[in-house]
Structures are given as structure tokens and as C-alpha cells.
Chain A
Amino acid sequence: MSEWVDACAVDDVEEEDLIRFDHDGKTFAIYRSPDDDFFATDGICTHEHALLADGLVMDYIIECPKHNGRFDYRTGEAKGAPVCVNLKTYPVKVEDGRVFIDVG
């Protein structure tokens, strides 16, 4: 079931970067791609407990700050060792300068 949550303002996220968003005890990551699209994934790496918000976005890849596990944040796909479990993704929509994610 859909549960759209207002996560942040469009301007809260820099281009080719991400921020952390906490909701209902869960941590998410909100991304803004180089071509200005928004995406959302789980906020914790699937390898070891590390906040992806401290990591680096290059193009469509988020790299975990801890051990460089890499994911395509558009699909959540793990891009090789040390990560082998994909990252969960969430639908995103932008309305009136706000970014909403569907956590349902």
C-alpha cells in the first residue's frame, strides 16, 4: 500500500549527491542525479552497518563510506564486491518543490 512521505525540499539535496532521511525508525537515502532526477533507497549499506549518506555519489553510483560497496541508486543493484545484496529502492515523486517517497 502506498504511503507517501514528504522527505525534503528539492533544494535540500545537491546535484549528484544525497541526504539522509529518517522516518518511523527507518533510515532512507534521497538522491539527486546529475540530470536532476530524484531517487530513494534504504539508508544503510547491505554489507555492514554504515550510513550511505556519508558516502560519495558519482553519476548513478552511491559508494558506501565504510568499505566502498557500490550500488546503482536508481535500481539498488549491488555493483560487485564487497556488496552482493541489492539495496531496496522506493518510488519518488516531486511536487511543488518537495520530494516525496513512498515508504509503504
Chain B
Amino acid sequence: MGDILIIGAGECGVRAAFALREAGHEGGIALIGAEPHLPYERPPLSKTAPTAPKIIAEEARYAEAEIALMRGSRVESINRAERRVRLSDGSALPYEKLLIATGARARRFPGMEAALTLRSLDDARGILDALGPGLRLAIIGGGFIGLELAATARKLGAKVTVVEAAERLMARIVPAEIAEAMAERHLAEGVQLILGTGVAEVRTNGITLADGRTIGADMVVAGVGAEPETRLAAEAGLEVTNGIVVDGRLATGDPHIFAAGDCCSFPFNGARVRLESWRCAQDQGAHAARAMLGCEEAYARVPWFWSDQYDLTLQVAGLPDPSLGHVRRDLGGGAFILFQRDDAGRLVSASGVGSGNAVAKDIRLAEMIMEKRLRPDPALLKDPAVNLKTVLKGVPA
């Protein structure tokens, strides 16, 4: 096997690089990252202040693993016929296999051009380092990023308003009851929530809402989702539909090119999904590494997300389906988990919220129950006295 190039030095690309060595790859590995920093974890950026980067691996580990980490380096184009990429400094690098792990970029809708976004370490420094008592922060979007930033900003004493176009928070991934529990907490912490209202325009001194109201703000941050970074793939003629299209192995239509993490659209449970998930990025990076070395297995891990807001942690395993009912498990201290089963009785999602790590163990067990495609008895799911480990080990598939 010749040289393997990885475009993107985020969680996915870094994981892929190390996984290649762990799987015995002896050829060259180049990890090309656009940012100047040593690769760092993105999840803490919206959750912690002051901003101190949490690096994924010490610099020496790249050298030990003989991974050529190219920071501050951009790929301009992929030449599939010659199997080489061209960098912004004009140089070219050949590849035997190429992994596109370019991630996603923060989205801005028309009218939001003046809003800041939070995606990178530099973004986080620009926002969090400016927050302080009395500063008026307006956040567009009541998703994970917006709400985590709201919680962090309240801790720093800022006055926070969150504007969400949907009728409730976190509508894309989290069941309504959990969103309500989180909304209550934000209100109790003094966050002003404006739901069901779009944004007409972001100005230097605030926001004009779609209904004409204005909100004064010293800083406006938009957290309205992300778009996959697919330009290189699309220009190289690879199929792109809400992400770079890959098969179960995470291979694109070109057998020498793979894609993984936030930038790819992959098959899951008979549908095509694109996830923005820290753990999926890691797992897919590792999976793509093995696939590039010849492993034929399909990626099949259950999606998993989390969010920390104040002392509350929310965790989701699987993909919640608004059309399905749920079974509720109350764990005490206000913590609870909602389980959803499909028509065949198989567990398809588990979403929980609670203080600290109150829901973590059960969510993890639920994930394993989903991996084994079990049909758990809802009465057992509901009863907090039942250890879900017995459900995992005891229910026939």
C-alpha cells in the first residue's frame, strides 16, 4: 500500500490517521488540516470558558506514529485521474488512497451575514473571550450549539436571548419532553427564549425579528446548523447529496477515495443519513482507515450525541422518530429517558436528560440493545428498578 492522504485534521481525520497505523499500514500518512492549531476537540468550545484548547493528541504522538501533520494547509483540488491533490501553495501530493474528512461549516441564512458563528477554536475565542457581566448576547438558533453557548454565557454573567424559528428547542434531534425540560432550565437561569419566530435581519446593534420586533444586542451569534464541506468532492466529480455519498464501507464512487464524518452521507437502517456527531466522526475515521486497507465490513454503529447545558447532560442514542410513541423511565432527581420502539418492537432510540451523568449508563445499555437489534419488553424499560444490563443479556433477538 502506498501513501494515504487525509484531508481534514479534525476528530475524524486524526482518528483515521492513528487507526491506519494501528491496523498495520506501513506507507506514508499525511494529515492535511486547514487550521494552524494542533488538532483539538471541538465539543468543549461551546461548553467551557475561558477557551483553552483540548488537543486530541500531543504533537510527539504524530511523529512517533510517522504521521505527517500538515497544519495551516489547504487542498485546492483533487485530480482523480493522476491520483494527486493540489495544495494552496501550489505543491502536489500523490495518493494511493484518499480520505476526505473535511467536516462541516457553520451555516448562515440570508439576513444573518453580520452574525458570528461558533465552529472553530478561533471562533470560540472571539466569542467567549468577549463575554462578561452585562454583555447582551443574542443567539439565533435553539439547537445544541446555541443552547450550550447560552449556558456558558450565563455562567459568565452575560444577558442572553435565544431566538428559535421552530416552536420548540432542539426540534431536529431531541424529543419534545426533553426539550421542554431544557427550556425550563434555561428560563430558570434567566435566559430569554423567543420561540416560533424567525429572524429578518442581523444588525450591528441587534436583531430584527420576522414579526418586526427588535432585540438589542452587543453580540449576535448564529447557531443554525452546519453544511457539509463537499466542494472538493463535488469539483472532482464525486456524487454529493447533502454530503459526499459513500457506501457502507465509507467508500465513494471512486475506489481510491473515501469520505467520513460530518461531510459524508452514509447508509443507515435503509436510509441515507449525515450526522454531525463527535463520536460518529471518530468511529467513521477509524472505520474508513480499515476500509482503505481492504476491510469490507459496513459501518453499523448506532448514532450517539450528547449536550452539556449547566449541570444537565442530555444524551441520545439512535435517531429519534417523531412519528413513534415512547416509553418513559424516570430515574429520580428529575432525570428521565424516553425509549422508542419500531413496529416490530425493536428499540430505535433512547433520549435522556438529567443532572451530571444520571442517564449515561442506561443510554449506553440502550445503545447496545439497539446494536443487537433486540425487542425489549417496554415494562422493563419503564421500570428504573430493572437493570437494563439484564435486558441486554436476557432478551432473545
Interface residues of A (CB under 8 A from B): 16, 48, 50-51, 54-56, 58, 63, 65-68, 81-82, 84
Contact = CB atoms under 8 A, between A and B. Distances in A.
Contacts, number: 45
A68 B364 contact: yes
B53 to A, nearest CB: 13
A50 B304 CA distance: 18
Contact of B361 (A55, A81, A82, A84): A55
Interface in B331-373: 356-358, 360-361, 364-365, 368
Contacts of A48: 44, 54
B144 interface: no
A81 B357 contact: no
Interface residues of B, number: 23
Given A81-B282, A81-B286, A82-B282, A51 B357 contact: yes
A54 to B, nearest CB: 4
Contact of A67 (B61, B279, B286, B358): B279
Contacts of A82: 41, 56, 282
30 contacts: A48-B44, A48-B54, A50-B357, A51-B356, A51-B357, A54-B356, A54-B358, A54-B361, A55-B360, A55-B361, A56-B360, A56-B361, A56-B364, A56-B365, A56-B389, A65-B357, A65-B360, A65-B361, A65-B364, A66-B306, A67-B278, A67-B306, A68-B279, A68-B304, A68-B364, A81-B15, A81-B18, A81-B282, A82-B56, A84-B61
B68 interface: no
A1 to B, nearest CB: 32
B18 A66 contact: no
Nearest to B54: A48
B57 interface: yes
A54 B18 contact: no
A81 B41 CA distance: 12
Nearest to B61: A84
Contacts of A16: 389
Given A56-B365, A58-B389, A68-B304, 8 more contacts: A48-B54, A51-B356, A55-B364, A58-B368, A65-B361, A66-B306, A67-B306, A84-B61
B33 to A, nearest CB: 17
Nearest to A54: B357
Interface string B123-148: 00000000000000000000000000
The listed residue with most B CB atoms (<10 A of its CB), out of A54, A56, A81, is A81
B96 to A, nearest CB: 24
Contacts of A54: 356-358, 360-361
A38 B44 CA distance: 35
Contacts of A51: 356-357
A83 B150 CA distance: 28
